[in-house]
Every structure is written in C-alpha cells, then in structure tokens.
Amino acid sequence: MNLRKKMSITTFYSFLKIALLATACSKGNSNAPAVPEKPEPPVELIEVEDCQRCLVLAEQSKNRIAIVDINTANIIWEWTAVESNVLTPHIAWFNLPDEAKPVYGGRYILMTASGGGVALIRIKDKKTLFYANVGGNPHSAEILPDGNIVTSSSTGNRLTLLHVDTLAYPNEGFKRVIAIDDGHNVVWDNTRKVLWATSNTVLKAFAYNNNCQSPDLSEVETINIPGPGTNAHDLFPVYGEDAMFVSTTTNVYKFNLVTQTFSMLDTELQYAIKSISSGPDGFPVILIQPKREWYTDEVKDTDGRSIFQQNDLRIYKARWLVDNAFSYPQNHAMRQCE
C-alpha cells in the first residue's frame, strides 16, 4: 500500500471516530452541564431508650431480633447470634427466632428460636448475658421471680426450667423438664405468684418452688379454653388489666383473671394469630397473622390497619416495648441466683 493511500484511510477513520463521539455527546442535550445524582438522605436512627413507640420483632429473614421505631418505620436496633458473643458452634440454635419479650423494665430482651435456643440479651450493648439449648422447638420463655428462666417447647411437649448462670456459655447447669402437650407459651402472674401456660385446649397454672438452685413447678389449676379452635398459641398479658390474651387456631380471646372468663377479642383477625400485644393510650392492640406459611411482613391493629410493614421481612411475633406490670414488679432489676 502506498503512503498516500495509507494516509487517506487513516484520515477517514479519524473523521469517523470524531463523528461517532459527536453523535454520542449530542444525545440528551450535549450543551447541558452534567448534574450529579442527588444522594439519598441518611436514615436518622434514634437510640432505643429515646424511642416513644417501639416494636420488638422476632424476625426470621435474617434470624434476628429487631426493634422498630414506629414513628419513622426504621429498624433502629437488631441482634443476631452471628454478630454476638454466642459461640460459633451454637449459632444454629438461634435459627428462626419465634419469641421476643421485653423484660427487666424494657432494658433486656428474652428470646427463643425454633433452632432450640433461649437467650437473655441486654439492649444497651447487645450482649448475650445468658443462653442455652432447650430443644424441642421452644416458642416462648419467661423470667421467674428469682431470675431463673422457664421455656415452653411445642414439638418437645415440655416446659424446661433453667438455673441461670450468666458466667456459663452456654448454660450447662441445672435443668428440670415438665411434660406439657403442645407447649407454646409461658407467662408469670406476679399477683397470684403462678406461672400460666397453655397445653393445647387448656390453660394451666403452676406454682413455683422458689428454689433458685433446683427450680421446679407443680400444677395447681386447669381451665378449659373455648372451642372450636385447638393448639393454643400465644398467651400474653393485657396492658393495664388483670387479664391475658389467648389465641387458638380459630379465635383470639381475652381471659379475665378475676372472673376466670373468656371473651372474644373485637377484631376480624381471628385465625391463626401468632402474637397479640397491647400498650398504654396511643398504642393499639397489635396482631401477627401469617400471610404465608407461618410469617408475615406486616403488623396490624384490631381493625386490620397496617401499623408497620416492610417487604421481605418474615415476622413471627411482635411486641410493644413497654413495661409489663402483670408479670414483673416496679423497677424490675436483673437477678442472679446465689
């Protein structure tokens, strides 16, 4: 190829390159200056202690306990076993959390998980102060007056009493097992000094022996739960009343402890309710009703209105972060057995 022809081809490709660049620049008004995208404003998260209305969630999409500020719909706190002081071989115990109960004046969370674990977590620093494996798909736990813990396991059909030692990781100390059919819940009644727990279609009361080193329970009363539903699921105190919510496969009731009578809760959300929680004025009664399988992405009130919703969450239970005067004394402080 001669020099003149080579230069001609080179010149042609140079002009073609310039033309293509000009065409690309002309798209979308080439004379307008580039405007950088506006960054998303940062999410302002408040401290849990400053939250006016907060929910505690047993949230299974990330195997976590989460606290939600209702005023902003932001998750402002979360705990996972993976990011805690739970030992690595024990992390699977906390798969599929199914209870998240505020205790000790709302400064701690008592949780259980279908993986078999129970844990007491301090909100301030997310430290797991106590944990154990009780197995049998535990669905709830309760703090006893001396600081010991009792759990209720559904497929394990048992209550498990644990002597609490916060220096043991995990707890390998004293355990007492008590048979109970389809165990799903436990609630301490501080007025009557008994532990309430459902057993399929009945509500049972147990006296506690108050033996810190060797805790035990003895059944003192059995009350039939109205049908047609079976498999009682949630049992939780009604805020400010001498009463408890009780849910079955078909209905939600309020059980009056004074008259020992059940009344239907005034709501259309009756079927398969996983949790019920109430609070002071301005805190509606909230319910968890699964949208698929056993979980939902939404917390609703008794009128079916959405209180909180976030796509892709798998909420099993939701509780208001409020004091529980039914179960615990004023200024309830953490206790350690001696």
Structural domains of the chain in order of their starting residue, each with its CATH number: 54-320 (2.130.10.10)
- Nearest CA to 113 among 63, 77, 67, 68? 63
Return d(Cα 199, Cα 178) in angstroms, integer.
12
Contact criterion met (CB below 8 Å) for 257 and 292: no
User: Using 50, 70 and 90 to split pLDDT, how confident is the model at 6?
Assistant: very low
Kind and range of the H or E run holding 15:
helix 3-26
Return d(Cα 55, Cα 167) in angstroms, integer.
29
Percentage of the chain beyond pLDDT 90 is 82
Return d(Cα 250, Cα 270) in angstroms, integer.
6
Q: Give per-residue pLDDT as tens, 186-228.
A: 999 999 999 999 999 999 999 999 999 999 999 999 999 999 9
Strand partners, 37: none
Nearest 10 degrees: CA dihedral of 100, 278, 185, 168?
A: 30
Query: 193 is written with which tokens?
Result: 């000094």
pLDDT of 168 strictly over 90: no
pLDDT of 2 strictly over 90: no
Return d(Cα 98, Cα 60) in angstroms, integer.
8
In this prediction, residue 335 carries a pLDDT of 78
- Nearest CA to 289 among 310, 274, 277? 274
- Nearest CA to 302 among 336, 254, 260, 335? 254
pLDDT of 257 strictly over 50: yes
Residue 22, phi then psi, degrees to nearest 5: -65, -40
In this prediction, residue 67 carries a pLDDT of 98
For residues 87-93, give the mean pLDDT. Answer: 97
Query: 276 is written with which tokens?
Result: 């019920």
pLDDT of 291 strictly over 80: yes
Query: 118 is written with which tokens?
Result: 């129970």
For residues 114-120, give the mean pLDDT. Answer: 98
